[in-house]
Amino acid sequence: MPQPFFPNAVVLAWAFYLALVSVTLVATYTDLRFLLIPKWLTLPSLAVGVLLNVVLGSLITDVPRGRFLFGGEGGFLGALDGLVLALSGCVTGFGLFLVMFVLGTCRGGDVKLFAAVGAWVGPLLVVYLLLGTIVAVVLLAVVRLAWNLATHGFGSTYKDYTLRGAAGRRPGKRADEPKTTRRRLTAFSPAVALSAALVLLWIFSPDLHLRARTQTTTQTAQR
């Protein structure tokens, strides 16, 4: 990031990081357990992300945070910057996953989850998280396929992970819909959680006091 996300506020940085990762972990649990990411999780998370950025923008005055439209350092203009940060992040996250939803590679809950994540971190970091999510999806899919090949053999794995061979229906589907399972699809929520945990840990590491800030970042923050 061009500026620190949580300048001189290590406790706040850790609270923000752990709260957001917890949201993605709860989404992963509900997705893998019940095959859905509920609105009671994604919509309040989105609202909290917007509220947090507005409050942070208004309170942080020692360095500029955001500088989207107004360039304010704290106060009312800082709050507006925080609002723009959150809303633009939400729209970016929603748009990125909407493309995959249209292509049929994810479900509506995944779209809402990533929109909520975008409201927390803004448009730049949500793109980084998407890249991390794509990498995590590939890695998790390879590991899962390798495990099933080793434990169940090729025939069973082929039936579970192909459209024609997939067995079972998701509850609530019509009888005339094709047989599919989430085994055939890649669950994005674990990849989002893994990306949030690792990518944000690295990006926020100076704010979390896990590594020193680079000289360029420090100079930029002091301007």
The pLDDT tens digits for 193-210 are: 999 999 999 999 988 888
CA distance 88 to 191: 22
Predicted pLDDT at 63: 58
User: Coil, strand or helix: which one is 25?
Assistant: helix
CB atoms within 10 A of CB 222: 9
Contact 162, 184 (CB under 8 A): yes
Q: Which two tokens stand for residue 168?
A: 């079972």
Q: SS3 of 7, please?
A: coil
CA 201: distance to chain centroid?
Answer: 13
AA identity, residue 14: W
Residues of the chain with pLDDT under 70: 1-4, 7, 62-72, 152, 154-186, 214-223
CA proximity to 46, closest of 65, 23, 15: 23
**DSSP secondary structure letter of residue 75:** H
Residue 147 burial (C-beta neighbours within 10 Å; 0-12, 13-18, 19+): exposed
